[in-house]
Amino acid sequence: MAEIKVDVRGETCPVPLVEMRKALRKADPGDIIEITGTHPASKKEIPMAAQALSVKIISEEQLKNEWRIKLQK
Amino acid sequence: MENQAAEVTLIIKTEVLNKVIAEAKGGIFMSAKTTIIIHSGDMDKLSSALIIGNGALAMGMEASLYFTFWGLLRLKKGGLNKGPLSKMHMFGLGKLMIKSRMKKANMASLERLMADFKELGGKIIACEMTMEIMGVKPSDLQEDLIDDYGAVGTYIQEARDADITLFI
């Protein structure tokens, strides 16, 4: 089980969603994907996408200007 | 005869049941689809279309872009960025200004949006009638991007089972 880190700090729509999807496609079932970003709308939309893709949301946290979301494939 | 009919009914019922189960799980079917007609060749409109296409793919839908009329010209070799702004183009001055603002906001380039769209499995269709009218040969186009060439039938076939369809 691998942990894949996706850094989309400073990136804007639609890059955080797209990079999340790319990482999910490459991941094996059970892998953890950790996405760190700053784009405000993506903080809401990544969990939405995860739900649409039936991917488990492990955690969501806000650290100052950054957010970090962990998903499990 | 009767057996066959019963079998067909059973298959249909199973499909309906699978749909209900998937819905109950809160998941969206992977077969959900977005189709976009790109009629405009304007830079800003192409950018919106590619962003929507990428968003659809990222959220688990299929996506296909049907390039027609002025939009088709953006598939020509080196043509992706050649479009004017839909408003305030001002002989290219407005476009330059918007481009610098887009860069400042770190917006993804059309090349990147197109590359991501293809990487996530998006489909590009080129309109053959436009090619004829405008005298565009397949070799004038970025053939590596194009999955299919077709006319209105191809688009309708794509769109008839689509959940979202847009004309840009």
The verdict on residue A70 lying in a domain is no
What's the gap in Å between the CA of B103 and the closest CA on chain A? Answer: 11
Backbone angles phi, psi at B161, to 5 degrees: -110, 20
Check whether A7 has a pLDDT greater than 90: yes
The verdict on residue A66 lying in a domain is no
Q: How far apart are CA A8 and CA B21, in angstroms?
A: 34
* pLDDT, tens digit, 9 for 90 and up, residues B62-119: 999 999 999 999 999 999 999 999 999 999 999 999 999 999 999 999 999 999 999 9
Alpha-carbon distances, residue B160 vs A72, B32, B33, B129 (angstroms): 34, 11, 10, 21
Element spanning B48, H or E: helix B43-58
Print the domain residue range for A26: 3-55
The verdict on residue A69 lying in a domain is no
Work out how many domains chain A is built from and give that number. Answer: 1
**CATH number, domain at A21?**
3.30.110.40
Kindly list the residues from chain B whose CB atom is less than 8 angstroms away from the CB atom of residue A49: 58-60
Which pTM value belongs to this model?
A: 0.85
Q: How far apart are CA B91 and CA B121, in angstroms?
A: 36
* pLDDT, tens digit, 9 for 90 and up, residues B42-64: 999 999 999 999 999 999 999 99
Asked if residue A29 lies in contact with residue A73, where contact means CB atoms within 8 angstroms, the answer is yes
Report CB contact under 8 Å: B119, A14.
no
Q: Which of residues 94-113 of B touch A (CB under 8 A)?
A: 105-108, 113
ipTM: 0.92
